[in-house]
Structure 1
Amino acid sequence: MIENNLKTAIKASLEAGDVIMQVYDTAFNVEIKDDKSPLTEADKRANDVINSYLKDTGIPIISEENKQIDFDTRNQWSTCWVVDPVDGTKEFIKRNGEFTVNIALISNGKPILGVIYVPATKTIYFGDVSKKQGFKAQLSSHQTPLEELTNKIKPLNPKSADGSIVQVVGSRSHMSTETLDFIDTIKQSGKEVEVVSKGSSLKFCLVAEGNADVYPRFAPTMEWDTAAGHAICNAVGLEVISKETNEPLLYNKENLLNPWFVVSKQ
């Protein structure tokens, strides 16, 4: 049985995926925001769709494309949505398909539900932390009804951490010094390292579905980049640990920028 807020997030992500692909198939314009990040009509339209679904829950929303609300107000929220309507806008612009819709529900700073939808492949991932369940489904349409979706789901199963080869999520073309040091530490323990790569929040999904062992992120991310993936990983027994505190990442902070982190089994 899928929890009601999770149902809402799934429906919102599918409809957002539909409008994203409508833009994807056109000659769209790209704007540059104040923070130098790109913005397309897909980001705006997907954000409108997601807001229209989530506002009916009565739970406040933090979205990359919404006007950010003062922390004095946000600090009063025990529960909130954290949304990235198009995670991987650069991937969207490159038209490589590796962009996602991210929707997470946060309670007291911790992710409790998460949905990641991949519109280009019609693949959905979702997790419920309280039920310790995470699933993936391959859909035939953005309009797939929930009843049909639930018939297609398969459980997510992370790898056991006892292989001789450690698959590390990273960039094949340019890795930071910190990531290279992280990999060297694994090699020094006597294990081989294979680097696997994906765009956007699909990096979390690689670990959650057992196609990678660990995802070290030693570069800036925002809360909306990670919240949904964090929830899905937690739901299947993985941890997302801050390199600053050695504790799980927290959400709805005064500064919405994340510290560096590592996703793995603890």
Structure 2
Amino acid sequence: MIKILKKVCNLAKDSGHFIMDFYLHKERIKVYYKPDNTPVTNVDYKVNNIIKNSLFSINPHIPIISEEESYNTKLHYKCSRYWLVDPLDGTKEFLNNNGDFTVNISLIENGIPILGVIYAPFFKVLYYSLYNTAWKEEDNINREIQVSNSIIPLVVVSRSHFDEKINSFLKNLKDYTINKMGSSLKFCYIAEGKAQIYPRFGNTNTWDTAAGEAILIAAGGIVKTWKGDNLNYQLSSSFLNSGFCASVL
């Protein structure tokens, strides 16, 4: 599995370099809109193909589920293992030039994310995990990461989903600082001890959370729905989970 992890890390970085080439040449980006009115670009689709082809070469027998494609889950629902991919998490951030976008790749086994890789190409930072260990690579230095408590917790929230429910949640905290940011980097900030809480209300797609959850749990954190359940990564027709709270234990 370590060899597979290294290949996926390299794949995420290669995909990130491809994304940055478009980021630096905006005239090459084409924007479309999905039925829910969220943006998607030609970059999302191109990176999706790169990742799919590479994962297939790693193991042609493991199904690949990606945000940018449609699936008949009845063909795969008995699979105990599959790849779950978000080729460009934070498309809005990518288009808004703020750097908070990532490449997310995770391996799901029996409904649990056992491997997670997140690369933030703008910041040139890689987060990755396998089972119960998580790491961060920056400036060619790899180090193991762990969650960390704080007397005054840093709460990370989404720029795109800041609403009254978030405000109500924050009012129940005595002391806190807050950082609004995009993509799965919120999970990573908790995993490396920079932040302590990430509240999210409303439904989330499985590809938005799987890699981040794998990394955070491997670093000693926890992700639970507001009812106290685990997020569900068993293959289903909707690929949806309810809201959750990610935090240190």
Q: When the two structures are superposed, what TM-score results if normalisation uses the length of structure 2?
A: 0.92
Q: Which moved more, 1:225-234 or 1:52-61?
A: 52-61
Matches within 5 A, 1:148-167: 152-160=141-149, 163-167=150-154
Tell me the residue number matched to 1:99: 101
AA at the equivalent of 1:16: S
Tell me the residue number matched to 1:143: none
CA distance in 1, matches of 2:46, 2:18: 7
The CA deviation at 1:198 is 1.6
Deviations 1:70-94 (A, max 9, x none): 2222211100000000000000001
> Matched residues, percent identical?
40
CA distance in 2, matches of 1:173, 1:89: 11
CA distance in 1, matches of 2:106, 2:180: 23
Deviations 1:107-135 (A, max 9, x none): 01110000000111211000112xx2111
The CA deviation at 1:184 is 2.2
The CA deviation at 1:157 is 2.1
The CA deviation at 1:174 is 7.2
AA at the equivalent of 1:18: H
Tell me the residue number matched to 1:43: 44
Tell me the residue number matched to 2:114: 112
AA at the equivalent of 2:97: R
Matches within 5 A, 1:201-216: 201-216=184-199
The CA deviation at 1:172 is 7.1
SS at the partner of 1:47?
Answer: helix
Contact 2:190 2:248 in 1 (8 A): no
For structure 2, which runs of at least 5 residues remain unmatched after alignment?
none
Tell me the residue number matched to 1:59: 62
2:165 to 161, 170, 178: 178
Contact 2:222 2:248 in 1 (8 A): yes
Tell me the residue number matched to 1:193: 176
Contact 1:171 1:195 in 2 (8 A): no
2:229 to 247, 255, 260: 247
CA distance in 2, matches of 1:109, 1:97: 31
The CA deviation at 1:50 is 0.5
For structure 1, which runs of at least 5 residues remain unmatched after alignment?
140-148
Contact 1:24 1:42 in 2 (8 A): no
CA distance in 1, matches of 2:31, 2:127: 28
Alignment: residue pair count: 244
* Residues 1:158 and 1:98: Cα distance change in structure 2 (over 3 Å): same
Contact 1:91 1:199 in 2 (8 A): yes
Contact 2:192 2:219 in 1 (8 A): no
Deviations 1:107-166 (A, max 9, x none): 01110000000111211000112xx21111114xxxxxxxxx5xx201212112xx4312
SS at the partner of 1:250?
Answer: coil
Return the structure number with greater strand share: 2
Check if 1:230 corresponds to 2:213. yes
CA distance in 2, matches of 1:182, 1:20: 35
CA distance in 2, matches of 1:171, 1:72: 33
AA at the equivalent of 1:69: Y
SS at the partner of 1:186?
Answer: coil
The CA deviation at 1:227 is 0.5
CA distance in 2, matches of 1:164, 1:226: 27
